[in-house]
């Protein structure tokens, strides 16, 4: 498999980047949104001139042409990826025109993943496994009592989060340098906030990771967030995609981060795989924390489904989250409610759980001596869950 893109595909990536920015410009003009993080494109390192679309219909006509043209690209994974990416943007335009009201239609056509939420049977199975793992780690009582005791033993108090994050980022950076080319003199720093619609946020433009200290945080959770948001997660994804474009080996569209997009699920799944990439699993507490993160991602889909498909009122959805939450306290419930209550982000919650399901099995089948090629494949170009499967 050739890991450097062809000249034909790189030229095509410029057309896709311009189209993407053109749709973002339409969306911002329609909504009046000015903050970068509120748009369809939430990070723009491209400097590209947007396509000047008169309206969403004009954008859709052009995107349909691009989707057709993508089928002539020489790389199989790029043919699949760009056809799906153009379909995703086309579908976003359709949603803004008043179509695709159903949540499952948005998830299926924006993200290109299974729109089914986590079923109660799946949540029960996860929680049974968590109960078992906590028991093996020496915790007694019902599931809630075991989780509470585990969190208290591993607690990272809010006033210690900054220092813990600094320590973890230093080690994560060192480990990441053993598998990926680190940018010299370009590092992240940590800041904390007392609330927000997120657990953590990667602000690449200001080279910072923002940690929400409202949820109950453990040392293991902070380690997960460092790997997800910074090293080898989002910071490295953004950096290596930008470098690939500058070096002529990757596409210009890789210098954009697009919300509600076909690349969203792999973007999150790759970041969630960070501890695995670094071989940084230090025992049962890390495995407990990893399962808690999966349960939280699954619960996000179940909660959003109840709110936007079943029509539950917000108080009932909040009770559902609180009753099923595997730790995190009220702070975690509050930030999930704020996330899924935003119509522009309510489908995006699927990208975490479905992203894990799309990325983790691929990672498990990559042989150790093939990991460097795999890293190039996933960090130098954007992927959908489906195009990721074509690594071989």
Q: Give the pLDDT confidence score for residue 329 in this predicted structure.
A: 96
Task: Write out pLDDT tens, residues 57-82.
Answer: 999 999 999 999 999 999 999 999 99
Q: What is the CA radius of gyration of the chain?
A: 20
Q: Give the pLDDT confidence score for residue 219 in this predicted structure.
A: 98
Structure tokens at 186: 């370009």
Q: What percent of the chain has pLDDT over 70?
A: 99
DSSP state of 155: B
Provide the CB-side half-sphere exposure for 304 (13 A, CA): 33
For residue 187, count CB atoms less than 10 angstroms from its CB and return exposed for 0-12, middle for 13-18, buried for 19 or more.
middle
Task: Write out pLDDT tens, residues 102-127.
Answer: 999 999 999 999 999 999 999 999 99
Which band of pLDDT confidence, cut at 50, 70 and 90, is reported for residue 128? very high
Has residue 83 got a pLDDT over 90? yes
Q: Give the pLDDT confidence score for residue 1 in this predicted structure.
A: 63
Which band of pLDDT confidence, cut at 50, 70 and 90, is reported for residue 38? confident
Q: Give the pLDDT confidence score for residue 91 in this predicted structure.
A: 97
Over range 261-287, report the average pLDDT: 97
Q: Give the pLDDT confidence score for residue 136 in this predicted structure.
A: 96
Q: Give the pLDDT confidence score for residue 278 in this predicted structure.
A: 98
Q: Give the pLDDT confidence score for residue 36 in this predicted structure.
A: 78
Over range 139-151, report the average pLDDT: 97
Over range 180-185, report the average pLDDT: 94
Q: Is the dihedral of CA 339, 340, 343, 349 positive or negative?
A: positive
Q: Give the pLDDT confidence score for residue 37 in this predicted structure.
A: 80
DSSP state of 252: G
Q: Give the pLDDT confidence score for residue 210 in this predicted structure.
A: 97
Has residue 2 got a pLDDT over 80? no
The pLDDT mean for the chain works out to 96
Per DSSP, the three-state class of 294 is: helix
Task: Write out pLDDT tens, residues 316-364.
Answer: 999 999 999 999 999 999 999 999 999 888 899 999 999 999 999 999 9
Helix spans in 219-313 (H) = 219-229, 234-246, 264-272, 274-277, 284-308
12 vs 224: CA distance, rounded Å? 36
Q: Between the CA atoms of 381, 387, 389 and 392, what dihedral angle is there, to the nearest 10 degrees? A: -60
Q: Give the pLDDT confidence score for residue 344 in this predicted structure.
A: 82
Q: Give the pLDDT confidence score for residue 392 in this predicted structure.
A: 78
Peptide bond into 349 cis (omega under 30): no
Q: Give the pLDDT confidence score for residue 139 in this predicted structure.
A: 98
List of residues 6+ apart from 14 with CB closer than 8 A: 48, 251, 252
Q: How far is CA 307 from CA 58, 293, 295, 313, in A?
A: 33, 21, 18, 7
**Look-up: residue for tokens 């190039």?**
376
Has residue 372 got a pLDDT over 80? yes
């Amino acid at each position: 498999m050739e890991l450097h893109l062809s000249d034909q595909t790189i030229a095509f990536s410029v057309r896709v980047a311009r189209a993407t920015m053109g749709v973002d410009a339409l969306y911002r003009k329609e909504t009046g949104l000015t903050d970068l993080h509120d748009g369809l494109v939430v990070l723009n390192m491209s400097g590209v001139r947007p396509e000047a679309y008169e309206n969403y219909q004009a954008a859709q006509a052009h995107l349909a042409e691009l989707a057709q043209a993508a089928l002539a690209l020489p790389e199989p994974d790029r043919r699949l990826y760009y056809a799906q990416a153009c379909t995703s943007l086309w579908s976003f335009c359709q949603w803004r025109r008043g179509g695709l009201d159903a949540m499952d239609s948005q998830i299926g056509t924006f993200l290109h993943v299974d729109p089914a939420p986590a079923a109660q049977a799946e949540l029960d199975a996860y929680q049974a496994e968590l109960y078992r793992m906590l028991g093996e780690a020496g915790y007694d009582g019902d599931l809630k009592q075991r989780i509470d005791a585990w969190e208290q033993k591993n607690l990272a108090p809010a006033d210690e989060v900054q220092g813990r994050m600094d320590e973890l980022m230093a080690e994560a950076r060192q480990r990441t340098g053993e598998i990926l080319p680190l940018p010299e003199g370009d590092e992240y720093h940590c800041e904390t906030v007392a609330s927000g619609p997120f657990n953590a946020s990667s602000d690449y433009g200001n080279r910072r990771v923002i940690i929400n200290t409202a949820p109950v945080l453990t040392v293991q959770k902070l380690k997960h967030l460092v790997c997800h948001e910074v090293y080898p997660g989002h910071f490295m994804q953004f950096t290596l995609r930008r470098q690939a474009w500058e070096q002529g080996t990757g596409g210009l569209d890789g210098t954009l981060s697009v919300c509600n997009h076909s690349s969203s699920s792999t973007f999150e799944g790759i970041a969630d795989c960070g501890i695995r990439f670094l071989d940084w699993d230090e025992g049962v507490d890390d495995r407990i924390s990893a399962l808690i993160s999966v349960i939280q991602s699954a619960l996000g889909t179940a909660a959003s489904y109840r709110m936007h498909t079943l029509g539950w009122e917000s108080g009932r959805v909040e009770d559902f989250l609180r009753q099923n939450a595997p730790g995190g306290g009220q702070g975690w419930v509050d930030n999930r409610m704020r996330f899924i209550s935003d119509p522009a982000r309510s489908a995006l919650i699927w990208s975490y759980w479905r992203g894990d399901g799309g990325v983790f099995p691929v990672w498990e089948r990559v042989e150790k001596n093939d990991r460097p090629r795999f890293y190039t494949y996933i960090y130098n170009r954007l992927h959908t869950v489906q195009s990721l499967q074509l690594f071989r």
